[in-house]
Amino acid sequence: MGEIFVVVEHRQENLREITMQMLGKADELCRELSHTLTAVLMGGKGVPFLDELVERADRVIVMEDERLRNFNADRYKWILNNLIHEREPHIVMMGHTAWGMDLAPALAVMTGWPVASDCVDILVQDGNLKVIRQIYNGKLFSKVSFRQSKGYLVTMRPGAFPEDKAGDHHGEVERLPVPPDLPETRREFLEFAESETGEVDITQSEFLVSIGRGIGEQENIAEIKELADLMGGQISCSRPVVDKNWLPKYHQVGTSGKTVKPKVYFALGISGAFQHVAGIGGAGTVIAVNKDKKAPIFRVADYVVADDLFKIVTALKERFS
């Protein structure tokens, strides 16, 4: 009987969705492997979501200290390293999030345990732990195994697992003191900052005409704006368009941008990186146009058009003029 650790991710007094997704997957693995599920919570004093965690894990290890209120890789990895060597869990799960990407690789080096990042599944085959990852921007899947070790670190892709699968538990709370020799950090949190807002709020749109890298040139955006106006939709986009400063950030759909829930999401030249797809889970109908018939967006689209977006845009505009 072993133990699975889920490192609790929280922000501004709220549990993050990835935590519930990890608890669901960990619960499933615990049943398969007869392991127990331990949530590891590092946070400020009096976190408001402890009860919620207790219902979803066999045990919640709590370390409260004001220096742990906001994520800090230097301190979190130091505490986790001690805890991992003391308890030797079979699996340690973290989110493949901004914070997880800062923590997990450092923790792997510190513990000497192997790590696999951005996993969309974890499985046990012939008694060995394996993970499924997506590579080449989602165009290929890869099954990965680990060098033999006492335990393994994995970071889980946000959205790869549902949030409502976390099991019913009435776990115990184990409060551990924060070691007095907690190291000084070399990276000090200052504050959170919201990104700029603009004249449109795409989260309220019923119909989004959304563009991606396939738009090719900045000059081509005018044509899509024209089409959106004719059809009565609002324009949104994926990350590459904002990276190039072709549209302001408040048009961006995805994990680092906005989560949208239109009745219709019309995706033009968007390849469908997971960070983008995570932002359209609430869309009613997704129509995707991409000349690359292997574009990952087609795996989530309700209607698939494998053609040149400009040909389709021209034909659509003719219908409206």
Q: Is 319 exposed, middle or buried (0-12, 13-18, 19+ CB in 10 A)?
A: exposed
Cα 157 from Cα 273, distance rounded (Å):
12
From 145, 162, 175, 218, residue interacting with another protein (rule: CB under 8 A) = 145
Minimum CB separation from another protein for residue 242, in Å? 6
Stretch that binds another protein, among 43-51, 52-60, 173-181, 264-272 (CB under 8 A): 264-272
Q: Which amino acid is at 25?
A: K
Q: Does 158 bind another protein (CB under 8 A)?
A: yes
Minimum CB separation from another protein for residue 72, in Å? 9
Both tokens assigned to 128: 């060995």
Paired strand residues for 41? 62
From 32, 48, 123, 136, residue interacting with another protein (rule: CB under 8 A) = 136
- Interacting positions 10-39 with another protein (CB under 8 A): 11, 16
Q: Does 122 bind another protein (CB under 8 A)?
A: no
Minimum CB separation from another protein for residue 168, in Å? 28
Cα 52 from Cα 69, distance rounded (Å):
18
Q: Beta-carbon neighbour count of residue 102 at 10 Å?
A: 17
Q: Does 123 bind another protein (CB under 8 A)?
A: no
- Interacting positions 218-247 with another protein (CB under 8 A): 231-233, 239-240, 242-245
Q: Which amino acid is at 141?
A: F
Minimum CB separation from another protein for residue 7, in Å? 15
Cα 161 from Cα 40, distance rounded (Å):
19
From 32, 66, 195, 201, residue interacting with another protein (rule: CB under 8 A) = 195
Cα 69 from Cα 108, distance rounded (Å):
23
Both tokens assigned to 299: 């795996």
Q: Does 3 bind another protein (CB under 8 A)?
A: no
**Residue closer to another protein, measured from CB, 37 or 113:** 113
Element (H, E) at 84: helix 73-87
- Interacting positions 45-104 with another protein (CB under 8 A): 70, 73-74, 96-99, 101-102, 104
**Residue closer to another protein, measured from CB, 104 or 160:** 104
Residues 6+ apart with CB under 8 A from 288: 267, 270, 272, 295, 297, 298, 300, 301, 303, 304, 305
Instruction: Single out the residue of 293, 202, 291 nearest to residue 242, CA to CA.
Output: 202
Minimum CB separation from another protein for residue 239, in Å? 7
- Interacting positions 272-301 with another protein (CB under 8 A): 284-288, 291-294, 296, 298-301
